[in-house]
Structure 1
Amino acid sequence: MQIEVCDLRCRVRLGCTKEERAYPQEVSFTLRIALVDHTSVKSDALEDTIDYMRVFAEVEELCGAGEYKLVEKLAYDVGLALKSLSPSIEDVEVSVRKKVLPNAESMGVTVRLSEVL
């Protein structure tokens, strides 16, 4: 089973230069959290799954805690933070998008923890 959160928006200090990191900018996350345990599909119990509010809080806390030069590192750190929420999380995929180019809607990266650990 996979939990998916699409277009979760947070503000983070992100960019290659100090000037770019001086002010928080909005980024958009798509999160895919693969669970080993599928009990919740039958039990309808919150304790058998991952609480979405914990996911949101974890991402917001991480975004507000520091600054990043690379979108890749932000995605990786978010993935690690989410994986640590529960032993029933098998894998995490994090996509991060930001508006950076005038002639493109956005740029982004996708990091799957199982591929980089």
Structure 2
Amino acid sequence: MILVFRHIFYKNYVGLSFWPFILVKHPKLRQDTTLINHEKIHLRQQLELLVVPFYIWYLTEWALRTLWYLDAYRAYRNICFEREAYANEGREDYLRHRRPFGFLRYVVLVNAHP
């Protein structure tokens, strides 16, 4: 289910997955297939980790990477969950062919986002 919440997003962030919902900043974003696919990838990740552990891992990895990079946005872009979602958001068939726990391929920073 896709819900619109205009006032919860920070700066340029426009979408968020919060099991079992996808939250977007503007109604027109419901039609953005790339954004919706990105958020669906996160929903799958959340389901695989039984939701709460996903959020714990996500926040822990973000905090550690923020300390490592000294840059919160760079840390965000290099979280394994985000790396998987960004790398595959344009592939509408990705979730049909994705292996379980596909985000694990993105834990090690081989080609980290700058």
Give the TM-score normalised by structure 2. Answer: 0.30
| Greater relative CO (CA pairs within 8 A, separation 6+) | 1
Q: Which has the higher helix share?
A: 2
The structure richer in strand per residue is 1
Q: Which has the larger radius of gyration?
A: 1
